[in-house]
Amino acid sequence: DAKTTQPTSMDCAEGRAANLPCNHSTISGNEYVYWYRQIHSQGPQYIIHGLKNNETNEMASLIITEDRKSSTLILPHATLRDTAVYYCIVNSGGSNYKLTFGKGTLLTVNP
């Protein structure tokens, strides 16, 4: 699976949009981009995934660049409960079941 690069930490004001970047310049055509987060003392939580098109669900939006070498997870109105470590993972799906969790980005939402 392609390697991902994320900033170590980010801050965001409560109520503002949080934009978390991820670089995956070696991604191949059949690999998905997945986002998970882990709130302190909880299990990782699936947020969203995408292949080529931008995706939106009740939690977040995922913007993937046209060349697919980077993506941005957007939390439109961050709350204090969104403070967590956010992981960007690339995986081809199907028989490839392994999710490699790196160090992720610690997002701190400030009041």
Place of tokens 């995986």: 91
Counting contacts by CB under 8 A, is residue 102 touching another protein? yes
Beta-carbon contacts of residue 69 (< 8 Å; ≥ 6 apart): 23, 24, 25, 27
Query: Smallest distance, Å, CB 94 to another protein?
Result: 6
Cα torsion 30, 104, 5, 7: sign:
positive
Counting contacts by CB under 8 A, is residue 86 touching another protein? no
Residues 98 and 31: beta-carbon distance below 8 Å: no
Q: Which of 91, 105, 107, 109 binds another protein (CB under 8 A)?
A: 91
Size of the site for another protein (CB under 8 A): 18
Counting contacts by CB under 8 A, is residue 21 touching another protein? no
Nearer to another protein, 15 or 102 (CB): 102
